[in-house]
Structure 1
Amino acid sequence: MSGDDPQGVDRPSSEQRASNAKGAALAREKLAQAKADAQRRGQLPRTEPRKKKGGPKRDSGDPMLFGAAIQDLLAARGWEEPVAIGGVFGRWREIVGAELGLHTRPEAFEDGEVIVSADSTAWATQVRLLAPTLVRRLNEELGDGTVTAVKVRGPNLAPPRQAGHIRVKGSRGPGDTFG
């Protein structure tokens, strides 16, 4: 085989090298021609980077980190606070401690107030006593002033009373029949 090296490495023949050189020269010539055409049209590529105005801008086709894309979406929709509160509710045990988290759970967040339910009256009392500490700890997670109060609901041990299923149709009758 022509062009074989005694060590088993294929090397291009002089004919192939000449062809490669012609191809490279042709490519350089075509690139120069494309640049000249672009210059005539006024569409030369930029030589210096774009200046950022105000904040980070990106071209619509540029890739973006997933976390940054989610943050942009949350900010654009105004969902930052609800998502942060949902994160606190999801990490409730971690934030308030294992024992307190085992006996309580956050129910809602309305107008700066976190509504917490407890599984016994003793734990409800404990949460009421710890309310200022909980407000401070929750504000550390969410930002100062987000949580203003903690409201506690005790256990709801009995189901709500429902009216019976048996009904008597018709009028109630005269009022003096029981006497």
Structure 2
Amino acid sequence: MGGALAGSVTSRRLASAAVVLLFGLGGTLTGCEYTYDDRGTPQATPTAPAGSNVVLPPDPSLQQTVTGDALEEWAKSALPESQGRSFYSSTGYLSPGESKTEQTVQLPGGTYAVTLACRGTRRVTFTVRMGESDLVDLTLGCTNARVSVVQLDKDAILDITVGARSDANFAYRVSRL
């Protein structure tokens, strides 16, 4: 009896999870609408659900630059906690046309996640270099974040350059995977 009860509970949990997943995907479900030709033959016409064309505007507050504690709070939320050890991170403000280059601490050889984020009205360029080699060369639309994985064959110091054409905040973190 105990095995049947456990199987029943497991089945209900899986069914509940499937329902939650199905409703969580909401916008990906489509339906069919039937129309009839002159002869009365039904013809399926795919239709989108009522809310599928909804476009949410970006959070307007992320288009404004911040300083001080607000900058630190934004960086914490924009750069999710890494699984590995964080070796270097930085945040800051860029004036229009400004770029900054910073160097990480000496990183031991291995695999690293470089998480990059920005806020402002435009885009920010991020370049991560090791010596003469570009490891990451990315123009990121603000209000977004991106994680790039880099492999260092030996100990190295990375140069990270951040630039913007308009006011922007940036944040990045280098973590060992």
TM bucket, shorter chain = under 0.3
**Greater relative contact order: 1 or 2 (C-alpha under 8 angstroms, separation 6 or more)?**
2
TM-score in terms of structure 1 length? 0.23
Structure number with higher helix proportion: 1
TM-score in terms of structure 2 length? 0.23
